[in-house]
Amino acid sequence: MRKGEGTYNLVIIGAGTAGLVTAAGAVALGARVALIERHKMGGDCLNFGCVPSKALISSARLLQRIRDAKKWGIEGAKAGDSFGTIFASMRAQRAELAPHDSVERFESLGVDVFLGEASFVSPKEVVVEGQKLRAKNFVIATGTRAALPRIEGLGDIRYFTNETIFDELVEKPDAMLILGGGPIGCELAQAFSRLGAKITLLQRSRRLLEKEDQPVSDFARERLEA
């Protein structure tokens, strides 16, 4: 049966981690599977979450250890200004992993991949780029994204979000204001501070990492301010 024809056992909307795992597992069990993605294969984790953020954090941590080398009896270690090469390395690592989440890989597994935005037209049908797909079951794995705060004048300046900073930032900032003291805000604050930027971190609640226990929040603040 040709791609898009007939009835699928399963149509998955969203090719992030959840969608990809579901697609691979279902097709391995013999299901006929279609996977729809409107943006980038790999979703959050590959493109602006786990992979680039942890690569950046690892490089920043190593840079800090080089600066602290003398404390451990190592003389002559120099960190230098490595911002450009660190970002290049982060992007190279992401590109190296991208084929594992690619259209080509999942189609080689037997999944029919469609790129575009899906819209339901009936309880058993969706349309993507003008093509109607019919399925017995659907999985909606579209994920979420950070909400932009309502701040007067925000639209008049250039700013980055956790989704854009790993692609659009090209030069080391002298200073950076980070809005949000959750896990993403805290890890970016620490990483960019270690890369040499002066960081101001704003959190509208009374403490950082407000979903964690108070001692964890206190420890995170102490380390960031140290």
User: Same domain, yes or no, for 112 and 194?
Assistant: no
pLDDT recorded at residue 125 = 98
Domain annotation covers residue 1: no
Judgement on whether residues 30 and 116 belong to the same structural domain of the protein: yes
19 with 127, same domain?
yes
Tally of domains in the chain: 2
**Residue 2 covered by a domain:** no
Residues 216 and 134 in one domain: no
- Whether residue 101 contacts residue 15, with contact meaning beta carbons closer than 8 Å, is answered with yes
Q: Are residues 219 and 150 in the same domain?
A: yes
Is 167 inside a domain boundary? yes
Q: Which domain holds residue 121?
A: 7-41+102-140
Q: How confident is the model over 176-217, as pLDDT tens digits?
A: 999 999 999 999 999 999 999 999 999 999 999 999 999 999
Contacts of residue 166, defined as CB under 8 A and 6 or more positions apart, other chains included, come to 47, 48, 52, 53, 56, 87, 90, 91, 94
pLDDT in tens, 107-158: 999 999 999 999 999 999 999 999 999 999 999 999 988 888 899 999 899 9
CATH number at 13 reads: 3.50.50.60
